[in-house]
Amino acid sequence: METITHNNQILAIIYRDDDWVEGLNFITPNELFVQVGSWWYDKGKKLASHVHNDFERSAMRTQEMTYVKKGSMKVLLFDEKHNHLQDFILKEGDLAVFAYGGHGYEILEDGTKIIEAKNGPFVDVETDKTKF
Quickly state the pLDDT bin for 53 (edges 50, 70, 90).
very high
pLDDT in tens, 8-38: 999 999 999 999 999 999 999 998 888 899 9
Q: From edge to edge, which strands make up the β-sheet containing 84-91?
A: 84-91, 72-78, 102-107
The whole-number average pLDDT for the span 39-47 is 95
R_g of the chain computed on alpha carbons? 16
Share of the chain above pLDDT 90, in %: 78
Quickly state the pLDDT bin for 87 (edges 50, 70, 90).
very high
Closest by alpha carbon to 104, among 124, 130, 123?
130
Domains of the chain and CATH, by start: 2-128 (2.60.120)
Closest by alpha carbon to 120, among 54, 57, 48?
57
The phi and psi torsions of 26 (rounded to 5 degrees) equal -85, 130
The phi and psi torsions of 91 (rounded to 5 degrees) equal -110, 175
